[in-house]
A = this chain, B = another copy of it.
Amino acid sequence: MAALPIKFGILGCADIARKVSRAITLSPNSTLYAVGSRSVEKAEKFARENGFPESAKVYGSYEAVLDDPDVDAVYIPLPTSLHIKWAVAAAQKKKHLLLEKPMALNVGDFDKILEACESSGVQIMDGTMWMHHPRTGKMKEFLKDSEQFGQLKSVQSCFTFAADKDFLENDIRVKPDLDALGALGDTGWYCVRSILWAADLDLPKSVLALRGTVFNSAGVILACSASLLWEDGKVATFHCSFLANLTMDVTVVGTNGTLRLHDFIIPFEEREASFFTAIKSGFTELVTAWEPKPSQHTVTTELPQEALLVTEFSRLVGSIKYEGAKPEKKWPTLSRKTQLILDAVKASIEKGYEIVEIVS
């Protein structure tokens, strides 16, 4: 592609924007072009500390980034409650959208964002980085292998981390007016995504939150669990929390095979990542050991997963910009399904742990 790199504007100086700024720099088809913050000093400091080129634009407002005609795409790591306002505004200004998860406070809001993107013909993608790691593709090959893996039967997913006192008091993810979905919107997003991914995006027919949800004094979820059931009998459970040691486990079991890993969201190492598969597992004659045993697979990557995310997003934006392609619907469809299940878990909790049917 002889086309120019996609020029990114970043709205706000959230912590996660540092990682994504580095990813934009690392990605061969994108460049850091602008950053906007409510404080121009903060934006300047951010640009200075995060590898923005000398020529980068530094703005004292989000609007100014959207008004810059040279900005191709924006990365929005703002609190979830602000997504609808700024994502819609960005789409209306024809900016392609890389939006941090959760996409919105609910699927209704997300649909408004989606509508704005569709009417402007811009690409939207969520910031779920692990989807773009080559390990994820390798694992998918295994899950799609009807001989080795067979038919999916169950998924157990767990993403927890032990937030410190400062996080539990001050982070946007514990504030009802900023990230009202709390741990469900943050760690739960990834659990739900891993389950949907394993189920090949097949939506469950129903969702049941499990008793034991922990709320903070403002009513924001700090930990919760849920169970999902599909028409064809597949089942899944997940547990997400801000209150337990960092854990990212998924176990996916099919009729013939098993897939598991312990670092599905952020690999233990930046440049290589492992997963375990087991195929038609069984025992030695007296059932005293396994035969065959599971095996470990390691996948290396030159670029970290977040740079691969930016590369894929920029590729799609470039196709639209330079080749007149249409936006890729696969990514917003996946975001929407994830959001739909988060909504159902939340509704189940609010209804006193009733079963919630999924209507897509």
Contact = CB atoms under 8 A, between A and B. Distances in A.
Interface string A231-265: 00111010101011111010101111110101100
A206 B353 CA distance: 14
B19 A281 contact: no
Contacts of A267: 289
Contacts of A288: 19, 266, 270, 304, 306
A245 B253 contact: yes
Contact of A278 (B214, B227, B245): B245
Contact of A154 (B211, B241, B255, B258): B241
How many copies of the chain does the oligomer comprise? 2
Given A239-B237, A276-B262, A289-B267, A281 B246 contact: yes
Contacts of A220: none
A274 to B, nearest CB: 12
A254 B210 CA distance: 19
A206 B210 CA distance: 11
Of the candidates A251, A257, A280, A287, the one having the most CB atoms from chain B within 10 angstroms of its own CB is A251
A278 B19 contact: no
A326 B212 CA distance: 40
A278 B237 contact: no
Contacts of A293: 268
Given A241-B154, A288-B19, A260 B262 contact: yes
Contact of A156 (B156, B279, B280): B156
Given A156-B158, A212-B233, A286-B22, A255 B245 contact: yes
Contacts of A241: 153-154, 253
